Amino acid sequence: MKSEFLLRFCFILGVNVVLSIVHGSVWGKKTLKDETVWPIMILRPLGTAQKQDCHSVNNPILHDQGVKRMQSPENGTGKGKSFIPGKGNRMKIQKFGKWLSACLSALVLMAASMSGLPPVIAQAEGTNAAKKPVVLVVMDGVGESSDELGNMVMKASTPTLDTLKANDPYRTLRAHGTAVGMPTDEDMGNSEVGHNALGCGQIYAQGARLVNESIENGRIYTSDTWKDLISGVKDARGTLHFIGLLSDGNVHSHISHLLAMLKEAKAEGVERVRVHILLDGRDVPATSALEYVDQLEETLTALNDDSFDGRIASGGGRMVVTMDRYQANWEMVREGWDLHVHGQGRQFASAREAIETFRKETPDIIDQNLPGFVIAEDGKPVGAMADGDSVILFNFRGDRALELSMAFDGDASFDKFDRGQVPKVRYAGMLEYDRDEHIPKNYLVNPPQFSHTLTELLVENGVNEYACSETQKFGHVTYFWNGNRSEKFSEKLETWEEVPSDVRPYEEAPWMKAAEITDRVIAAIVSGRYGFIRCNLANGDMVGHTGNLEATEIAVETVDLCLGRILKACDENGCILVVTADHGNCEKMLEVNKKGEITARTAHSVNPVPFIIHDKDARHELDTESAYGLANVAPTVAQLLGIKGYDNWEKSMLK
């Protein structure tokens, strides 16, 4: 630090002196012709500037030599020493004064250059220099409902949220269905589409809707990928395999897509199909697996004849096999790979027999936790993969589809687990799950194009951004927030921090990493470097999914406690606090089933989410009449920052 200080001082002093020499303001050898050129005005020693106040040639001590010369006919040549009084002492005093002022001005310039260059640059480029920073907290999975049944938000002690709602502009937002690009308003929201809408200010057709459209209009079957997979299987007289989540949850997949593709495959002359089913119980009722197995078996039975042979080949619960995400547990993927690809695992005669056996063995088990199984005949798996086969992963959502795709697409350097003998198959995903990394290499439906996101706007306006969450939701405040982009728009203006999540069941540690995230957000606020700070507190969603009511109550209270700390930091550091959520979950932990019984609910809800703006110094009134959703958040944040949003954005909610 000291040496940097010294270096900068010497450099600026040097520049100062050189400029002074060039313009004769120290040595007086040249005429200072243009007094208004700003670098000279700033860099010139302060002593020379005094000529502005001193027009009298009769005050030699204060007078500038250059000015003196211009006003003095005796020195019209501009050559040689021009100072008329010519007294040695005066000369020395003058030069000393000028050197002193040169040093002082160099010091001032250096201090300016060293104190927080980034914000200076950001504000100079932006239009929000006068606006307060905005801090956005996404309380993941914390919805709003007046229904008391299983409402852990209502049950928990939430003094901060209560105070904010009572005293600050507050309303609710739609966070499900068409408001976040899902096909219908029956569809729940989820963290991915929620953060897409929050960060993009627009409503995009999301995975399910894209795939629906593509299957309905048949475009999916005209894609090069589909044609290649089908012709490959026919040429090799091989098997077409489908892997995916078997439910109508419409979060990762929809069974209707699978059934439609099975029919089309038969119509196009495919002879043999095997289906590898992942059991849900998370986006649908906790023990509903057999409903979907029956639907699939009925369709296969109807299709099966002399020319077509379709069967279920393997499966397992989505939290046990195949559908790991964020590379948290490759062992899950290895287990799924062995079941689906090699047909290695516990054998059963049918999927129904497997599920019923597991339920007998572990009476409280829910579908997402069912162990892996393989369907076999005479001890031989019915659906192990072979060279020439084609494989379709029919999940449309990316996060839990990436790892299996990497295993299928990976070359010999793949080292996440031992894949054994890798069959030469053609593999495709339903969508491109990661557009930046191009995973998978082949996919059936083109992904949504996301542009004009809030981050793009802030980067264009030179606003420094900070984003933080723990591993489980880090992708949501970065990748999904930025419109499904892995790369930053600007390395300089975007700062991302990830707090590693605990590797243990969330009901055992419902506080998760909220305190650590809060520490970092407060540090970001106090630093004064950022114009926009966002974070995601994951507790309401992740603990809510466990179905454990006590743990979820603690999760909500944790979020409230952390929110209180962030609120205090905002008040003390002149920031505006915006609080919202990406979808509901922990406010609906119980439900009444068709038989009138109260049952556990681990899925998200279709409830709205809160939206609050807290500013210690001003009230930013919200339009509480219109039906707004998550896509109205980015335009509102932009307006708070004094930046005009993109024309294709939804409206700001500020009055």
Enzyme catalytic residues? 191
Q: Judged by CB under 5 A, does residue 187 bind Zn ion?
A: no
**Helix or strand run (H / E) with residue 272:** strand 272-279
In 3-state terms, what secondary structure has residue 612? strand
Q: Which of 478, 611, 514 lies closest to 196, judged by CA?
A: 478
x-or-dash pattern for Zn ion, window 458-497, by CB under 5 A? ----------------------------------------
Q: Judged by CB under 5 A, does residue 140 bind Zn ion?
A: yes
Summary count for the chain: helices (H), strands (E): 23, 18
Nearer to Zn ion, 16 or 196 (CB): 196
Nearer to Zn ion, 191 or 482 (CB): 191
Q: How far is CA 85 from the centre of its chain?
A: 72
Nearer to Zn ion, 239 or 580 (CB): 580
Three-point CA angle 204, 208, 209, nearest 5°: 55
Q: Whole-angstrom Cα distance, residue 619 to residue 128?
A: 18
Q: Whole-angstrom Cα distance, residue 71 to residue 544?
A: 84
Among 144, 470, 541, 553, binds Zn ion (CB under 5 A): 541
Tell the smallest beta-carbon distance from residue 260 to Zn ion (Å).
Answer: 29
**Per rule CB under 5 A, count of chain residues that contact Zn ion:** 5
Q: Judged by CB under 5 A, does residue 283 bind Zn ion?
A: no
- Name residue 470's beta-bridge partners: 499
Q: Judged by CB under 5 A, does residue 587 bind Zn ion?
A: no
Q: How many Cα atoms occupy the beta-carbon half-sphere of 73 within 13 Å? A: 0
- Applying CB under 5 A, which part among 139-147, 302-310, 357-365, 375-383 lies near Zn ion? 139-147
Q: Which of 65, 77, 72, 3 lies closest to 32, judged by CA?
A: 65
Residue nearest to Zn ion (CB): 191
- Applying CB under 5 A, which part among 205-213, 239-247, 444-452, 576-584 lies near Zn ion? 576-584
Tell the smallest beta-carbon distance from residue 379 to Zn ion (Å).
Answer: 44
Q: Judged by CB under 5 A, does residue 48 bind Zn ion?
A: no
The answer to whether the CB of 579 falls within 8 A of the CB of 171 is: no
- Applying CB under 5 A, which part among 138-146, 300-308, 375-383, 635-643 lies near Zn ion? 138-146
Nearer to Zn ion, 153 or 463 (CB): 153
Task: From residue 599, give the alpha-carbon distance in Å to each of 38, 103, 228, 514.
Answer: 75, 77, 46, 29
The residue whose two tokens read 């670098």 is: 39
Among 187, 338, 582, 615, binds Zn ion (CB under 5 A): 582
Q: Quote the tokens at residue 563.
A: 């929110």
In 3-state terms, what secondary structure has residue 444? strand
Q: Whole-angstrom Cα distance, residue 407 to residue 417?
A: 9
Q: Quote the tokens at residue 244.
A: 């995916």
Nearer to Zn ion, 132 or 174 (CB): 174
- Applying CB under 5 A, which part among 23-31, 187-195, 196-204, 360-368 lies near Zn ion? 187-195
Nearer to Zn ion, 189 or 316 (CB): 189
Q: Which of residues 401-440 bind Zn ion (CB under 5 A)?
A: none
Nearer to Zn ion, 182 or 640 (CB): 182
Q: Which of 206, 140, 198 lies closest to 649, judged by CA?
A: 198
Q: Whole-angstrom Cα distance, residue 445 to residue 260?
A: 15
- Applying CB under 5 A, which part among 50-58, 211-219, 382-390, 538-546 lies near Zn ion? 538-546
Among 191, 253, 471, 605, binds Zn ion (CB under 5 A): 191
Tell the smallest beta-carbon distance from residue 140 to Zn ion (Å).
Answer: 4
Where do contacts with Zn ion occur on this chain (CB under 5 A)?
140-141, 191, 541, 582
